Structure 1
């Protein structure tokens, strides 16, 4: 029997330790992601987990933290322009990218400098 991939379960980005309050302000309050409870066995490590559509985003504490400025998760959005407006109101810098035909997309950085992409297919 051959193994098969079902998809991506989660993506993880890092943050400096003890920055959960800052992460919540950004990922929960500004982006509107839904926080989910981490398993008890992992909660002592800190960080936060989010449900984003059918997938999860994990924010993990990293002592020797260095922001991911190229590698990034990409989130597919319904009504990208509305999200863009909300981000601009929150004074988040947006980097537009028009390099893929039939895809509207842009990048932002989280409070820790990690790159995040948001896109909507035409």
Structure 2
């Protein structure tokens, strides 16, 4: 039986690790975690924040997905959006998911990311 998502893997072009570190560690505030040596030889980098892990793997013929994306729950979403914008990331708000505030952004290589926070209902 499934119990949790262990990680989400996104692709990235060769040589983009420094850009990814600036975004995922700098802008998103995640911590880079070491890859096992046999996997580190392939390039890429892994990041973690709490129970959330994002793995960025190198793909020679990289093309970012236009629609596919991880959905990441955050707290204080307005402040988090401002943090991303302060790091130069574009934030696009979307109000089409009832009961949530959410926005989309892209990492420096074009991977789409969704950030969302549940809002209390006015019951």
Deviations 1:63-105 (A, max 9, x none): 0000012100111001111111112222321111101111000
Q: TM-score, normalised by structure 2?
A: 0.92
Give the structure 1 partner of residue 18 of structure 2: 21
**Runs (4+) of structure 1 moved beyond 4 Å?**
none
Q: Distance in 2 between matches of 1:55 and 1:90?
A: 21
Unaligned 5+ segments in structure 2 are none
Deviations 1:39-80 (A, max 9, x none): 111110010011132131000000000001210011100111
RMSD: 0.9
Unaligned 5+ segments in structure 1 are none
Q: Distance in 1 between matches of 2:73 and 2:95?
A: 15
Give the structure 1 partner of residue 70 of structure 2: 73
Q: Distance in 2 between matches of 1:48 and 1:87?
A: 20
Give the structure 1 partner of residue 2 of structure 2: 5
